Structure 1
Amino acid sequence: MSVVDIHAHVFPEISRAESRALTGSDEGPWLRTSDGADTGMMMAGTHEYRPVRRSLWDPAARVADLDRLGVDVQVLSSTPLLFGYDLEAEAAADWCRVVNARTLTHCSYAPERLVPLCQVPLQDTESACAMVSEAMRQGFRGVHIGNHLGDRDLDDGALLEFLTHCAQESAAVLVHPWDLPTGPRSSRYMLGWLAGMAAETHLTILSLILSGAFERLPASLRLLFAHGGGSFPYLLGRADNAWHRRDLVRADSAAPPSSYTGRFSVDSAVFDPGALRLLVDVMGAERVLLGSDHPFPLGEEAIGRLVRESALTETEKAAVLGGNAIRFFGLHDLVKEAS
């Protein structure tokens, strides 16, 4: 079976001086590394954001990981800390170009193994659309975006315009939760990541469904949500029940939420065989793609083990491990689907 991991991150080597010059801020993101060290530190100004492994910025170390883990191809997206959505439009565009150029360089180490997704200044729709078009010409396979922009979710008119443009450019869209809840209740025990990420993705999917946004988006849009679609698949019955019982819920949507699972895909990063079985039952095996969150500590350390050791059928396993990703990202030039 071909193995394609579609949820993996890169943080190109960006110094604090470069970050300051591009963002105009002393609090911008950068990467602190030491020559030959196997670990580094993601930084936000002087704040130590997260310790990281060398695979995050060193393509040779990444490919060695893939060889050891039996992964044929990895689709790479920037670390969400790099989105730059809080910058002024012009600075954000410059920042994204630097991140994209260095992501391309990272992937050029092994172009048959490493597939890049771009990032865009989502706060400026015109610039974001232009950057997606430019990126697709440069060899990117799609775009990686956050699940919201301040108080605006993806059903916002300008963001729907951007998603429509992605469909027109045949650019796949990976949606990742970011800008997680803060405060005393979520700051303990990494609860912002453990609970907040799932809630953020759930909120965005329901916003697209209940606002009627999917009626306005092209059916050709390839939309993929990280982290197993958050809590959406596991609480879908609750959403359907509410749609049938409350006119406030169904005011702008033509059909119950379960009718829309064919409009998007999710990754497999759920870390539990029962959760994976339910995810496949809800979404359909053809809409679940292998995702690891590599090389972060909260990712799947043995990429693909959950799928391989699950109770899925061999046909379902082949689809999730690689077949679905090959079709979703158009990777037939790099790997073959299992027959």
Structure 2
Amino acid sequence: MLFKCGSSDPAYQDALTDITPIRRQRGSAGQLHIDVHCHVVSEKAAKLAGTPPRPKDDPFVFFSSQDTKAVSASHAKITAPKMSSLEQRLADMDYMGVDIQVVSTSPFQYFHWTEPELGAELARIVNDNIADMAAHESGRIVGVGTLPMQDPLASQGELERCIQLGFKGIQFSTNINGEELASEKFHKLYRRMEEAQMVMFLHPNGYTDGARLSKHYLNNLIGNPLDTTVAVAHLIFDGVLDKVPGLNICLPHAGGYLGAYPGRFDHAYCARPDCRRHASKLPREYLKKMFFDTIAFDRGQLEALVEQWGPDHVVLGTDYPYDMGDDDPVGAIDQLRITEEEKIKIRGANAAALLRLRAPKD
């Protein structure tokens, strides 16, 4: 089963991208379809970790109404098998016309709330699971690692192991137990990633102060893009990106609110000295080096994203296998009113260049 919108309103359907599941053709060797945003769960890690001892350690669950929790539990019955079954994953990839998935952990398996020693063990288990998936498929699964960020020193060791495992990047939560990614304690990790040409993938797990977002799944609908926006704002305004100018960053959910609203950042930079004490240039100059996935659910918004940041900086994403994902990413790109050359870039050429990928053997 693939999730799709049930609304029959013609105006609404016209505004949405075509998300009705249709079997799509995979790309050719020179025109790959690469999904940079999809998730996996390690059952072994879940059993070892247990549940957070303090409910607020998982803001997404903590700031969810009973109705939201009930719907999420129902949907989890559909997504859970897809998280662990490689056979089901490959079948869904074929159906969607995806040649390669760039796989990262589900955000609830960051495990940053655990004690450092356990967190390091859990990160190893999660990464080994992803590496095993990649090893069993001839190039169709590409790994992105996770780090025990509650312990920066242990994270340095696990980063080296991720490099040895052949991972193409690291996925970071948009905050570490409420602490910003811009914190100086993490800078050494970013410098090493820049040196190793590893991509920094950001992915939120709800907003840290989501008391007003508990109903209607708002801590996902609003909270996720908001936390991404806050995290990147700190990386820019705290001057972190000046220290690692070669670090490539990929943003989920079409970049959160950043993709459509850079002007306010630029205005503040010009109008207020406290917004330019550490950053050496307009925020837009940092943003235009980043990569934005296609999960916008709206043709006009996705076209605006391409126009704003260029077809070279938009990459296909699905958020597989979640209900807030795009089950027809190739169709969403096909209907854009842009050139075929630009569509080829977004479907996979941009991701292939960013991650230095080759076509699968099959």
Which range, TM-score by smaller chain? 0.7 to 0.9
1:327 aligns with 2:350: no
1:288 aligns with 2:317: no
Alignment of 1:1-339 (within 5 A): 1-14=31-44, 17-20=47-50, 51=76, 52-53=78-79, 54-181=81-208, 183-217=210-244, 219-332=245-358, 334=360
Q: Is the 8 A contact 2:203 2:251 kept in 1?
A: yes
Larger relative strand fraction = 1
The 2-side partners of 1:16 and 1:57 are apart by 12
How many pairs does the alignment contain?
316
The 2-side partners of 1:223 and 1:67 are apart by 28
Aligned match of 1:32? none
**Compared CA separation, residues 240 and 15, structure 1 to 2 (3 A):** closer
Q: Is the 8 A contact 2:174 2:181 kept in 1?
A: yes
Q: Is the 8 A contact 2:99 2:360 kept in 1?
A: no
**Compared CA separation, residues 71 and 24, structure 1 to 2 (3 A):** closer
Q: Deviations over 1:279-331 (max 9, x none)?
A: 11222211111111011111001122211111121111111110011011110
The 1-side partners of 2:209 and 2:237 are apart by 26
Q: Is the 8 A contact 2:171 2:203 kept in 1?
A: yes
Q: Secondary structure at the match of 1:298?
A: coil
**Compared CA separation, residues 120 and 67, structure 1 to 2 (3 A):** same
Greater relative contact order (Cα 8 A, min sep 6): structure 1 or 2?
A: 2
Aligned match of 1:39? none
Q: Deviations over 1:231-268 (max 9, x none)?
A: 01211111112222222222322222112124321211
Percent identical residues: 25
The 2-side partners of 1:153 and 1:26 are apart by 20
Q: Is the 8 A contact 2:38 2:319 kept in 1?
A: yes
The 1-side partners of 2:46 and 2:281 are apart by 49
Q: Deviations over 1:153-208 (max 9, x none)?
A: 22211122211111122222211112424555201100111111111111112211
Between 1:257-266 and 1:275-284, the stretch displaced more is: 257-266
The 2-side partners of 1:177 and 1:143 are apart by 13
TM-score between the two structures when normalised by the length of structure 1: 0.86
The 1-side partners of 2:227 and 2:300 are apart by 22
2:149 aligned partner, one-letter code: L
1:198 aligned partner, one-letter code: P
TM-score between the two structures when normalised by the length of structure 2: 0.81
The 2-side partners of 1:279 and 1:231 are apart by 11
Aligned match of 1:34? none
Gaps of 5+ in 1: 30-43
Aligned match of 1:37? none
2:218 aligned partner, one-letter code: L
Q: Is the 8 A contact 2:178 2:208 kept in 1?
A: no
Deviation at 1:26, TM superposition (A): 10
1:153 aligned partner, one-letter code: E
Q: Is the 8 A contact 1:175 1:223 kept in 2?
A: yes
The 2-side partners of 1:216 and 1:274 are apart by 35
Q: Is the 8 A contact 2:180 2:234 kept in 1?
A: yes
The 1-side partners of 2:275 and 2:47 are apart by 49
